[in-house]
Amino acid sequence: MNPKQRAVLLVAAVAGVLGAWHALAPSWRVPLPTAANLPEERLQDFRDALYFPIREFLGGGNPYDPAAMFAHWPVRQDFNLYQPYHLLLHAPFALPDYRVGAVAFSVFSLLLLVALAALTAHSVRRYVPAPFAVTTVVVSALLVVSQVGKAQLYVGQINPLIALGAAGALVARRDRPGWAAVALALAWLKPQYGFPLALLLFVRGSRRVALTGTAIAAVASLPVVVLLVVRGGGLGSFVDVVAANLTHARATDYGAVDSLTAQRIDVAAVLFRVTGWAPSGVELVVLAAVLVTSAVLVRRLDRVSATPVADLLTCLAVVVCVVHQPGDVLIAVPAMAATAASCWRHRAEPGRRPAGLTVLALAVPFAHLYTVDSAVASALGARAAVTLDGVAVVAAWSLAVFAAVRLTRVRAAEPAVAV
């Protein structure tokens, strides 16, 4: 490293440490959960989607049953249909008392963000000669001070692990397909990540990764499912619990399409927030349209060796095709950085500008800080404030589609080089 790079490393390290301390503080300051403080946002996902569901499971119950969870534990949300292996994978964080588990989980999530930054540095080095340590520290610092990064630790989300899995599957799918399959299995932790990602990997030629990763997730979940079926008195009872879970999810306004607090970024929700109109069945139509369009284009991008843009389009398709929230764009960080580096290296090539604009649009959720949110809400209202990130992400996907069309046309028109 030259002196300038050392200076950047030092500044980023100091900023990262200060940002990490600030982001971790809610884990030891949050009050112990009670029925009186259910609206508490600090560590609410850790409370509702990890700690108490695992406690219910370890205690002999079925955490997928909303009635049981609301009767036995101080939770605000029902336990969504995460992969059952989640109840075993994260059990170590639910074994100690609540505060110890919260701090341990937050530190673990912080380390996962650093690992995601290291994966980003690895992706960038393919296109620009940036020192690995400098890029890792800089990206880590940016993550812990960004709105998306801080939200993971503030709310106690499991997205850092899923993001590392999804991004790892994309980065390693060709050189290390075995590790890529394991990474995809982690992305399957939430099916709304695993399904579209596995489908797009399959379409892009990584069939072994897609099938093996999906199989690993299924096999890992099978023992938990069998145990829940036996406990519940048979398969029929278990199916009834799943049906009750889905019914509750459709009925609650906490996370529904028309909820002003949900901050969804998928196309169906953004369409409703912008127009006030959401026709019946729109989510299935969006799912099919986004995945088909993206699948066709990523195959073309791979054929013309535009891998960074193909990876970015894959990540964007995952988060706009079905229910997702702003923090879910974390999966795109390595692809964003690699696309930016590739656009800089090939900046004279037609089609690179829309790819660069895609990165800028996708940066909006990371920069959408409290001050900006308050200003937007004051000027345009609460609905506009919770819609801003979604509009930016949907615009990013649209720009990525345009960039893919331009790049594939340009590359296809280039004369073949004799070997």
Q: Of 82-96, 253-267, 339-353, 361-375, give the range with the top mean pLDDT.
A: 82-96
Q: Is 156 left (phi over 0), alpha (psi -120 to 50) or beta?
A: left
Mean pLDDT of the region 187-196:
94
Question: How far is 257 from 177, CA to CA, in rounded Å?
Answer: 37
Please answer whether residues 136 and 118 qualify as being in contact, where contact means their C-beta atoms are separated by less than 8 angstroms.
Answer: yes
- Please check the confidence at residue 255 and state whether its pLDDT lies above 60: no
Q: Which has the closest alpha carbon to 141: 315, 22, 312? A: 22
Mean pLDDT of the region 286-305:
92
The angle at the Cα of 44, spanning 42 to 45, to the nearest 5 degrees, equals: 125
Q: What is the pLDDT of residue 338?
A: 93
3-state secondary structure of 64: coil
The angle at the Cα of 110, spanning 106 to 111, to the nearest 5 degrees, equals: 120
- Please check the confidence at residue 230 and state whether its pLDDT lies above 60: yes
Please answer whether residues 83 and 221 qualify as being in contact, where contact means their C-beta atoms are separated by less than 8 angstroms.
Answer: yes
Pick the residue with more confidence: 260 or 43? 43
Q: What is the pLDDT of residue 419?
A: 30
CA atoms within 13 A on the CB side of 264: 24
Q: Which has the closest alpha carbon to 64: 77, 44, 306? A: 77
Q: What is the pLDDT of residue 416?
A: 45
- Please check the confidence at residue 410 and state whether its pLDDT lies above 60: yes
Question: How far is 148 from 353, CA to CA, in rounded Å?
Answer: 25
Pick the residue with more confidence: 413 or 208? 208
Mean pLDDT of the region 107-123:
95
Pick the residue with more confidence: 350 or 395? 395
The residues near 370 (Cβ < 8 Å, ≥ 6 apart) are 147
Lowest mean pLDDT among 66-80, 85-99, 173-187, 345-359: 345-359
pLDDT tens digit string along 315-367?
A: 999 999 998 888 899 999 999 999 998 888 877 776 678 888 999 999 998 88
Lowest mean pLDDT among 60-69, 272-281, 350-359: 272-281
Q: Which has the closest alpha carbon to 301: 228, 203, 231? A: 203
Confidence band, pLDDT 50/70/90 cuts, at residue 418: very low
Pick the residue with more confidence: 201 or 250? 201
Structure tokens at 366: 């990371």
The residues near 378 (Cβ < 8 Å, ≥ 6 apart) are none
- Please check the confidence at residue 256 and state whether its pLDDT lies above 60: no
- Please check the confidence at residue 303 and state whether its pLDDT lies above 50: yes
Cα torsion 129, 131, 137, 140: sign: positive
φ, ψ for residue 299 (rounded to 5)? -65, -40
- Tell me the pLDDT of the chain averaged across its residues: 88
Pick the residue with more confidence: 398 or 352? 398
Q: What is the pLDDT of residue 111?
A: 96
Q: What is the pLDDT of residue 8?
A: 87
